Amino acid sequence: MVLEMKVPSPGESITEVEIAEWLVEDGDYVEKDQAIAEVDSDKATLELPAEESGIITLKAEVGDAVAVGEVVCLIDTSAEKPEGSSGSSDKKEESKKEEPKKEAPKKEAPKKETYASGAPSPAAKKILDEKGISASSVSGSGRDGRITKDDAVKAVPSMGTPTGGNRGESRSKLSMLRRKVAERLVSAKNETAMLTTFNEVDMSAIFELRKQYKEEFKSKHGVSLGFMSFFTKAVIRALEMYPSVNSMIDGKEMITYEFCDISIAVSGPKGLMVPVIRNAENLTFRGVESEVKRLAIRAREGEITVDEMTGGTFTITNGGVFGSMLSTPIINPPQSAILGMHNIVERAIVRDGAIAIAPVMYVALSYDHRIIDGKESVGFLVAIKEALESPEELLMDGNVKKALEL
């Protein structure tokens, strides 16, 4: 019996995927549930498992865009597993041994130099003039070295006068995920009235709390007491104070959410991924840290699912882990705002009328000015600043041990 394997739906609204890599070769014997391919959707990279055991016949090439429900391979389930078969690696080795020696390329006869050598055809001359490329810098492939229209189309402007050294270049196809991210970023810039407001946060109070309780917290809960739980808690408090920031535009209406699904930007092997912490307003410090760790690990190991990245009412991104001092983060549509965290640097500040050294982080809030006014955006970021600088009072109700469940 020959089984037709079709592309399963990775999630709602996804209509096609791209074959990122075949993990087996045509004619291999595969086991049931063995990963046979990696496919890219516009939201994540997923593994495609074999539905049955048998000999596989591939019906799509790497890089092909395949519609959900389309056949990508056939599995002959009646075929018996070959004796001594240990996967496709042996077959690759055999194919290498059996590969015939390549014949040496034949030398082409030298082209005859004539008056046409290096001269462009009229159509080629017009294209080269439009590109600002000199005909002398183009090698002609036409008869007797004449520059054809195709030569002119393929010609690229000089990248300056070579000064020695390697000047090679490479070209690779963008994955479906990367192309979708690019589309969404351009869409966010073009379709929102995006502005960014900035502030600075004295992180001294959080440093002291972490120094005092981080070992006990990790020992009891198995996760570190990081900065993300403080920022998530501060964001939730600010969203409750300024509900328009927790809103989205839907046509001529504004949807305001009564829950906080916080998206956390994570750098994964396939690019930026944004898993979501659901109902973060109901989580404790331990709950937030545990969920951040779980989602980050799944994203970096390529195990994150589309459902875990769908939705979200507000995003937090941390460029500080890469050393960023300040940035203007781009809104994650259809959300209306995003908070950018940055690196923490000891800076001189004025405290109680005197200059002091303190760990300071610059924070940025990018927002959609169509539904969030300047007063609300500034107030929202100030509320975050206040909560982070007075966490015991504003985030822990004056009882640190209870808030940290110690």
Question: Residue 342 catalytic?
Answer: no
SS3 45: strand
* From 64, 90, 369, 397, active-site residue: 369
> Beta partners for 316?
264, 339
> 263 and 228 in contact (C-beta within 8 Å)?
no
Q: Which residues of 254-284 are buried (b: 16+ CB within 10 A; e: fewer)?
A: eeeeeebbbbbbbebebbebbbbbeebbebe
C-alpha triplet 5, 8, 13: angle, nearest 5°? 150
Q: How many alpha carbons lie under 13 Å from residue 128 in its C-beta half-sphere?
A: 24
Phi and psi at residue 272, in whole multiples of 5°?
A: -70, 130
**Alpha carbons 335 and 401: distance in angstroms, whole number:** 34
Q: Does residue 366 contact residue 386 with C-beta atoms inside 8 Å? A: no
* Secondary structure element (H or E) that encloses residue 57, with its range: strand 54-58
**Virtual torsion, Cα 307, 310, 311, 317, nearest 10 deg:** 120
Catalytic residue, chosen from 26, 64, 129, 373, is 373
Separation of CA 136 from chain center: 43
Element (H, E) at 341: strand 337-341
The separation between CA 277 and the C-alpha centre of its own chain, rounded to angstroms, equals: 17
- First-last CA distance in the chain: 60
Task: Examine the residue annotation and report whether 373 is marked as an active-site residue of this protein.
Answer: yes
* Rounded CA separation 276/263 (Å): 4
Which residues are tagged catalytic? 369, 373
